[in-house]
């Protein structure tokens, strides 16, 4: 080892460390499908993964994330082994990518019955700016609006500000009504949960609740308030929630089917 290390020092190249920094190692490869299509993909090594995982990521495309001890040829073989799966999933993934790429001209916030017109103005300004005209319900993005990813990020930030304006006062009113008081209220951008209640009595609400019907938003809020007394989904919890809202079962069912009302730009 020593002579190599010495040589690398002379060449001015950093010698390989005994414990390589694996978290930032990645390769770009191309998969050839049987029908002639080609799919570019990335291989990324991550010390937090125990087993390799192949996934479609809306931002990065097809990605294989693997533990650091795997070698590149092994991982390429693994992706090739899943060629049929990739071929089957590809059309759905491309459709989602296209839909995500479309920027909204109207944003309908069903929770508060507000419809916002969105305007995109390309200017020389180096950064994207958001101007929100509340009385007229008009939202204007100006600057480098050709950068759709930046526009989506700006729209999501705007959405979170609207959620901050609308949801906490609403939860406060329900807290008064039910005499169930959270220790704190926070708005989050979450992909998988509409709300959560911590052991310290804090309630988190998903900003995307703004895309749901008011009845469902109210249900999520009552559900989380009820967790203040019952930090579980026991029969006692459901009975208490049913007393607060007799249509609990209806709302619960509707909510399970309610991922689609959230537009894709807000999800990713
Ligand atoms: Zn729950």
Q: Which CATH number goes with the domain that contains 222?
A: 3.30.2010.10
Could you tell me the distance, in angstroms and rounded to a whole number, from the CA of residue 164 to the centre of ligand 1? 21
Please write down the HEC assignment for all residues of 105-125. CEEEEHHHCEEEEEEEEECCC
Q: pTM above the 0.85 mark? A: no
**Residue where a domain terminates, one of 74, 91, 108:** 91
Residues 180, 199 contacting (CB under 8 angstroms):
no
Give the span between the Cα atoms of 119 and 138, in whole angstroms: 8
* Amino acid 8: pLDDT: 28
> What's the CA-to-centroid distance between 116 and ligand 1, angstroms?
31
Domain final residue, candidates 91, 119, 134: 91
Sign for the pseudo-dihedral over CA of 195, 65, 33, 31: positive
Which pLDDT does position 12 carry in this prediction?
29
Calculate how far, in angstroms, residue 115's C-alpha sits from the geometric centre of ligand 1: 30
Running DSSP on this structure, what letter comes out for residue 226?
A: H
Beta bridge partners of residue 44, listed in sequence order: 26, 65
Length of the chain equals 268
19 Cα: distance to centroid of ligand 1 (angstroms): 43
Distance from the alpha carbon of residue 17 to the mean position of ligand 1, in angstroms: 48
pLDDT of residue 149: 87
188 and 77 within one domain? no
Select from 59, 75, 91 the last residue of a domain.
91
One domain, residues 237 and 152:
yes
Give the CA dihedral 54, 91, 257, 105, nearest 10 degrees.
Answer: 110
Spatial CB neighbours of 172, under 8 Å, sequence gap ≥ 6 = 185
Q: Are 22 and 66 in contact (CB under 8 A)?
A: no
Residue carrying the six token digits 């009595």 = 201
- Predicted confidence at residue 62, as pLDDT, reads 93
**Residue 110 domain-assigned (yes or no):** no
In a domain, 64, yes or no: yes
pLDDT tens digits along 235-251: 999 999 999 999 999 99
| Same domain, residue pair 159 and 240 | yes
* Domain co-membership, 76 together with 182: no
CA 205–ligand 1 middle distance (angstroms): 12
Domain span at residue 76?
Answer: 21-91
- Pairwise CA distance, residues 207 & 170, whole Å: 13
Domains in the chain, number = 2
Q: In 3-state terms, what secondary structure has residue 143?
A: strand
Residue 168 belongs to a domain:
yes
CA 161 → CA 133, 154, 158, 243, 249, distances in Å? 13, 11, 5, 32, 31
Predicted pLDDT of residue 258: 67
What are the mean pLDDT values of the chain's consecutive 10-residue runs (268 residues total)? 28 34 73 92 92 86 92 94 94 82 91 96 93 95 92 94 97 97 92 89 95 95 96 95 94 80 82
Instruction: Note whether residue 102 is domain-resident.
Output: no
Measured CA to CA, the distance from residue 145 to residue 138 in angstroms comes to 17
- Cα-to-centroid distance, 200 and ligand 1 (Å): 15
């Amino acid at each position: 080892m020593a002579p190599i290390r010495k040589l690398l020092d002379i060449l001015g190249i950093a010698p390989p460390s005994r414990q390589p920094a694996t978290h930032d190692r990645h390769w770009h490869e191309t998969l050839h499908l049987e029908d002639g299509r080609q799919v570019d993909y990335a291989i990324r090594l991550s010390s937090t993964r125990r087993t390799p995982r192949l996934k479609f990521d809306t931002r990065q495309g097809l990605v294989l994330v693997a533990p650091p001890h795997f070698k590149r040829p092994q991982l390429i073989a693994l992706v090739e082994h899943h060629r049929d799966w990739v071929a089957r999933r590809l059309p759905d993934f491309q459709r989602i990518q296209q839909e995500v790429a479309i920027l909204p001209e109207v944003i309908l916030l069903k929770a508060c019955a507000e419809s916002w017109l969105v305007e995109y103005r390309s200017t020389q300004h180096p950064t994207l700016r958001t101007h929100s005209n509340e009385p007229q319900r008009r939202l204007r993005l100006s600057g480098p609006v050709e950068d759709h990813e930046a526009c989506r990020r700006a729209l999501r930030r705007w959405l979170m500000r609207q959620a901050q304006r609308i949801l906490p006062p609403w939860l406060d009113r329900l807290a008064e009504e039910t005499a169930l008081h959270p220790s704190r209220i926070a708005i989050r951008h979450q992909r998988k949960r509409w709300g959560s209640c911590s052991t310290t009595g804090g309630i988190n609400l998903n900003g995307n609740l703004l895309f749901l019907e008011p009845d469902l938003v109210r249900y999520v809020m009552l559900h989380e308030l009820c967790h203040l007394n019952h930090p579980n989904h026991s029969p006692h919890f459901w009975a208490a929630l049913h007393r607060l809202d007799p249509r609990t079962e209806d709302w619960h069912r509707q909510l399970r089917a309610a991922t689609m009302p959230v537009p894709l730009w807000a999800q990713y």
